[in-house]
Amino acid sequence: MLLNEVVHESAEYLKELALSHECASHPLFVRLKNRPLSKQQAVALLVNYDAHASLLRRLLLTAAAFMPEPAVGFVIENVRNEYGNGDYGACHQGLLRDLIAKVSSEKKTDSKATQEVLEPGFSASVRIFSGVRKYITKVVTYYKPKLDRNCKKHGYFAPAITAGAITATEIMALEEFKAMQKGFIDFGLAEHPWFDHVNVECEHSEESLALAQYFFDEYNASASVEFGFQKTLAINVHLYDGLLEAINRYEDK
Ligand SMILES: [Fe+2]
Ligand SMILES: [Fe+2]
């Protein structure tokens, strides 16, 4: 179902649609904006972020292979960024884990909970919270859509659904990084290379909008794009629930 039954010629409206979706005003963003994180909260947040980002990387790889030939290029650059643009030492997961290591060795704060988080092999001891797990289970459906009876009835095109899912992810990733970066100011880590994502995600969201536009123009598939887009935004609520759970778990009482 298209928003207000309006058929859009430009995919640009998707940005507004994402930012006015309930996921964009999730309490996670309020929490990150209003109060600093403790060390253990920062680590728990990052470990949980890593869990979902690891899946998304793989789903993007699959999505690139799944696209019509002319659309592969819109996805491939994004995946290449994830893997360090040819230098695996600069891959995004490596940067994230370096940030976890730096937060862990940062001097301020302490409590018993810190021990639980920061013991050797600490990342294994941080729970992946239920919201993140739920996100991981559900998002696959829209990155690798199998057209059920409902989708077939609407004439949805599977690669365009994937394009919608990618676009929702990339637009919201920019919001996530802007919010998370604030939480690392007090650690002196807001300029850590992982937070270059504030720029990287800007590019990704533009590329993903170009991908969505391709399906608008070449396949008249805006309904399929919007279907994947809206479903993924709704699933993002679970992700943000999980990241907030991770922070709340280590909230000082
Ligand atoms: Fe990344
Ligand atoms: Fe991205």
In the reported structure, the alpha carbon of residue 207 is separated from the centroid of ligand 1 by a whole-number distance in angstroms of 14
Can you give the pLDDT at residue 80? 95
Expressed in angstroms and rounded, the spacing between residue 192 Cα and the centre of ligand 1 is 13
Measure the CA–CA gap between 15 and 163, rounded to whole angstroms. 14
pLDDT digits (tens, 9 = 90+) for 144-199: 999 999 889 999 999 999 999 999 999 999 999 999 999 999 999 999 999 998 89
What letter represents residue 98's amino acid? D
- For the chain, the domains span 9-248
Per-residue CA distances from 56 to 50, 87, 147, 176, 236 (Å):
10, 20, 20, 15, 12
Q: Which residues of 232-246 are buried (b: 16+ CB within 10 A; e: fewer)?
A: bbebbbbbbbbbbbb
Q: Read off the amino acid at residue 100.
A: I
Mark the residues whose beta carbon lies below 5 A from ion ligand 2.
170, 173, 201, 204
Distance 123 CA to ligand 1 centre (A): 19
Q: What is the structure's pLDDT at 8? A: 76
pTM of the model: 0.90
Question: Would you give the distance in Å from CA 103 to the centre of its chain?
Answer: 21
Q: Ligand 1 (ion): which residues have CB within 5 A? A: 92
Cβ atoms of residues 154 and 212 within 8 Å: no
Residues of the chain with pLDDT under 70: 1-7, 106-125, 253
Write out the two tokens for 8: 């859009």
- CA pair distance 13, 107, nearest whole angstrom: 45
Q: Does domain 9-248 sit in CATH 1.20.910.10?
A: yes
Helix, strand, coil share (%) of the chain residues, nearest 5: 75, 0, 25
**pLDDT score of 5:** 57
d(Cα 67, Cα 76) in Å, to the nearest integer? 10
